[in-house]
């Protein structure tokens, strides 16, 4: 009965204290600050969805794009920082879309900021990735990244691109525009003027 009681006059937190502004600008998810993981890199060390030990390894295989080696190969081995600093090779289908990719890539090489052609509905783009060996040459095959141009209305804010990426054996890690592939759309939005396709061939 004589135990001390809480002081009813103790200061309490100020309910009118200023709160963080929910409308404050946010950092660019594709330009991380020093020491921060790149959320546009699906193979970053933290929460690596490409890990063979992850749950994704038991996922179903992708239902489209697995025949990408029959598409037009539009690049050689290109180092890609946003794909875990892997070497990537790009394939595009149909031939009309591959021609657009090459023309847009030429504009990129000459530092143009406009004049990029859009891709027709049904365009398929596959980016095969490889780890770099000690000598810098392509080594072990890694994840495969896909884009498919859908009909108008699929995702107007992203020019109707569907994204997907898989393990090397085509085990599906993510597909669509949300969840595991949100980073895809976020990164490709940086090249909206190129119709969401980086079109880099070297």
Q: Is residue 12 very low, low, confident or very high in pLDDT (cuts 50, 70, 90)? A: low
Per-residue pLDDT, 163:
98
Residue whose pair of structure tokens reads 């103790």 in the numeric block? 10
Per-residue pLDDT, 7:
58
Query: In a 3-state reduction of DSSP, which class is residue 184?
Result: helix
pLDDT over threshold 80, residue 16: no
Per-residue pLDDT, 159:
98
pLDDT in tens, 181-197: 999 999 999 999 999 99
pLDDT over threshold 70, residue 13: no
Per-residue pLDDT, 81:
87
pLDDT in tens, 137-184: 999 999 999 999 999 999 999 999 999 999 999 999 999 999 889 999
> Which string of DSSP letters, residue by residue, matches 42-99?
TT-STT-TT-TTSGGGGSPBPSS-TTGGGSEE--S-EEEGGGTTEEEEEEEESHHHHH
Query: In a 3-state reduction of DSSP, which class is residue 176?
Result: strand
Average pLDDT of the residues of the chain? 82
Overall average pLDDT of the 23-38 stretch:
48
Q: Which residues pair with 25 in a beta bridge?
A: none
Q: Distance between CA atoms of 101 and 196, rounded to whole angstroms?
A: 12
pLDDT over threshold 90, residue 18: no
Q: Is residue 201 very low, low, confident or very high in pLDDT (cuts 50, 70, 90)? A: confident
Q: pTM of the entire structure? A: 0.73
Phi-psi domain of 194 (left: phi exceeds 0; alpha: psi -120 through 50; beta: other): alpha
Q: Is residue 21 very low, low, confident or very high in pLDDT (cuts 50, 70, 90)? A: low
């Amino acid at each position: 009965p004589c135990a001390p009681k809480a002081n009813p006059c103790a200061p309490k937190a100020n309910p009118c204290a200023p709160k963080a502004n929910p409308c404050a600008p946010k950092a660019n998810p594709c330009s991380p600050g020093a020491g921060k993981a790149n959320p546009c890199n699906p193979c970053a060390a933290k929460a690596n969805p490409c890990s063979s030990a992850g749950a994704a390894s038991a996922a179903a295989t992708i239902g489209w794009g697995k025949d990408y080696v029959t598409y037009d190969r539009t690049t050689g081995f290109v180092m890609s920082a946003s794909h875990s600093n892997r070497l990537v090779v790009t394939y595009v289908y149909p031939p009309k879309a591959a021609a657009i990719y090459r023309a847009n890539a030429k504009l990129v090489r000459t530092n143009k900021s406009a004049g990029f052609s859009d891709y027709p509905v049904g365009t398929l783009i596959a980016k095969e990735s490889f780890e770099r060996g000690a000598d810098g040459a392509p080594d072990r095959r890694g994840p495969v990244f896909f884009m498919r141009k859908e009909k108008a209305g699929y995702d107007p804010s992203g020019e109707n691109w569907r994204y997907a990426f898989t393990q090397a054996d085509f085990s599906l890690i993510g597909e669509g525009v949300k969840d595991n592939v949100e980073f895809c759309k976020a990164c490709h939005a940086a090249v909206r003027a190129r119709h969401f396709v980086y079109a880099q061939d070297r």
